[in-house]
Amino acid sequence: MKLKHTPGNWIAVGTMVEVENDRHADICDCSPNVLGQDHLKGAEEFAWANAKLIAAAPDLLKSVVRLVALLPEGTPEVERALHAINKATR
């Protein structure tokens, strides 16, 4: 399966998700200020956590694809993993 997303190592820098090299545009900014939600309780903390999760997404996807290939087909866990892979790649 060819995964389609910005290549490179994604890193969380505060609320930003960036590509480690400068040949690609940054991925996103989770800042509540950008989204007009800075008034919400805990918004900045959630934004930092979301940025870290998004930065890990390419590695997580690659790992799940490899793990699914090793597990028995038809189990609920494999079905959930396949659903998540499809959600990320379709």
Strand ranges inside the chain, DSSP E: 10-13, 16-19, 28-29
The residue among 29, 85, 52, 21 whose CA lies nearest residue 8 is 21
Give CA separation, 72 vs 5, 60, 89, in Å: 27, 20, 22
pLDDT per residue rounded down to tens, the chain (90 residues): 666 778 779 999 999 999 988 888 899 999 998 878 888 888 989 999 999 999 999 999 999 999 999 999 999 999 999 999 999 988
The dihedral region occupied by 75, where left means phi > 0, alpha psi between -120 and 50, and beta the remainder, is beta
In the chain, the N- to C-terminal Cα span, in Å, equals 12
Q: Could you tell me the pTM of the whole model?
A: 0.84
